[in-house]
């Protein structure tokens, strides 16, 4: 089965590198117009230029709702539709016990990861998808499905993204489908501290014996965004090389 998205337009937040860039490249290769979003113009422009026609970019912080509305309007002016929204950008400014997180970093994490997902979806929905239909894919995390030390507060916002996905799916059907992916450890800058110094050890503990690549997640996002997933909404697909099902005694 080949997924084709010719004539569709997708907005991808956090598209300058990692999972967002891989997703933007795959959506574009599938025929979609792509609008790339991140905070820094230089790298973003480079990705857009490397894609060529049908690719554009808009500099925005996803935690800023006015930027979301401007990006949506710019996309509609340029491409005429917003059929797909990928809420991928996220932040994790704190590592440690949630008993010690300061309020400003807690608020920033909620603002970008949770409120960002909400306001970009609201903007796409009210400006286009409510009338014309569409598909939203939110990038959560396996951390939103489990409890772990160190990135606990970030994980709280990812749990919220999973619940937002379910709530939105219930409210936005039948014209709009909303799903999420929950990646495990993926080889990107975001998670470097978790894999860089001990990649082989981390990989050896996974049923599939390797750390994920951005493309592993991008392929699932593109599937969920496409009509191939036309009867799926409100779901969160775990993409983790089996990390969530490691037996308690470990892999032998």
Q: Which is nearer to ligand NAP, 133 or 150 (CB)?
A: 150
Q: How far is the CB of 252 from ligand NAP (least distance, A)?
A: 25
**Selected range binding ligand NAP among 24-32, 38-46, 78-86, 229-237, rule: CB under 6 A:** 38-46
Q: Is 71 in the site for ligand NAP (CB under 6 A)?
A: no
Member of 9, 30, 33, 38 binding ligand NAP (CB under 6 A) = 38
Angle (CA) 81-177-133 rounded to 5° is 30
Member of 24, 55, 84, 89 binding ligand NAP (CB under 6 A) = 89
Q: Is 47 in the site for ligand NAP (CB under 6 A)?
A: no
Member of 10, 19, 119, 229 binding ligand NAP (CB under 6 A) = 19
**Selected range binding ligand NAP among 26-34, 55-63, 76-84, 166-174, rule: CB under 6 A:** 55-63
Q: Which residue has the tokens 């990705």?
A: 47
Q: How far is the CB of 211 from ligand NAP (least distance, A)?
A: 8
Q: What are phi and psi of 16, to 5 degrees?
A: -85, -15
Q: How far is the CB of 135 from ligand NAP (least distance, A)?
A: 18
In the residue annotation, 154 being an active-site residue is answered as yes
Member of 9, 11, 14, 218 binding ligand NAP (CB under 6 A) = 14
Q: Is 197 in the site for ligand NAP (CB under 6 A)?
A: no
In this structure, the strands spanning 33-38 and 55-59 are parallel
**Selected range binding ligand NAP among 35-43, 70-78, 129-137, 225-233, rule: CB under 6 A:** 35-43
Member of 26, 85, 90, 225 binding ligand NAP (CB under 6 A) = 90
Q: Is 17 in the site for ligand NAP (CB under 6 A)?
A: yes
Q: How far is the CB of 39 from ligand NAP (least distance, A)?
A: 3
Q: What are phi and psi of 54, to 5 degrees?
A: 70, 15
Window 115-134: residues binding ligand NAP (CB under 6 A):
none
Distance CA 21, CA 88 (A): 10
Q: How far is the CB of 54 from ligand NAP (least distance, A)?
A: 19
3-state secondary structure the chain: CCCCCCCCEEEEECCCCHHHHHHHHHHHHCCCEEEEEECCHHHHHHHHHHHCCCEEEEECCCCCHHHHHHHHHHHHHHHCCCCEEEECCCCCCCCCCCCCCCHHHHHHHHHHHHHHHHHHHHHHHHHHHHHHCEEEEEECCHHHHCCCCCCHHHHHHHHHHHHHHHHHHHHHCCCEEEEEEEECCECCHHHHHHHCCCHHHHHHCCCCCCCECHHHHHHHHHHHHCHHHCCCCCCEEEECCCHHHCCCCCCC
**Catalytically active residues, by annotation:** 154
Q: Given the rule CB under 6 A, which residues bind ligand NAP?
A: 13-20, 38-40, 61-63, 88-91, 112, 139, 141, 183, 185-186, 188-191
């Amino acid at each position: 089965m080949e997924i084709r998205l010719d004539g569709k337009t997708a907005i991808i937040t956090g598209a300058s590198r990692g999972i967002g860039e891989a997703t933007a490249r795959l959506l574009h290769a599938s025929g979609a117009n792509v609008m790339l979003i991140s905070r820094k113009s230089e790298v973003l422009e480079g990705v857009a230029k490397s894609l060529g026609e049908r690719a554009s970019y808009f500099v925005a912080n996803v935690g800023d709702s006015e930027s979301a509305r401007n990006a949506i309007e710019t996309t509609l002016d340029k491409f005429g539709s917003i059929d797909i929204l990928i809420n991928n950008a996220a932040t994790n400014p704190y590592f440690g016990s949630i008993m010690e997180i300061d309020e400003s970093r807690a608020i920033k994490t909620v603002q970008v990861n949770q409120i960002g997902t909400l306001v970009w979806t609201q903007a796409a929905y009210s400006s286009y998808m409510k009338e014309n239909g569409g598909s939203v894919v939110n990038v959560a995390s396996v951390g939103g499905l489990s409890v772990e030390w160190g990135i606990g507060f970030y994980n709280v916002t990812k749990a919220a993204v999973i619940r937002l996905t379910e709530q939105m799916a219930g409210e936005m059907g039948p014209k709009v489908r909303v799903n999420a992916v929950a990646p495990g450890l993926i080889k990107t800058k975001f998670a470097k501290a978790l894999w860089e110094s001990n990649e082989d050890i981390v990989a050896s503990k996974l049923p599939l014996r390797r750390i994920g690549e951005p493309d592993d997640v991008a392929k699932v996002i593109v599937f969920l965004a496409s009509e191939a997933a036309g009867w799926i909404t409100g779901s969160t697909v775990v993409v983790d090389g089996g990390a969530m099902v490691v037996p308690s005694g470990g892999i032998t």
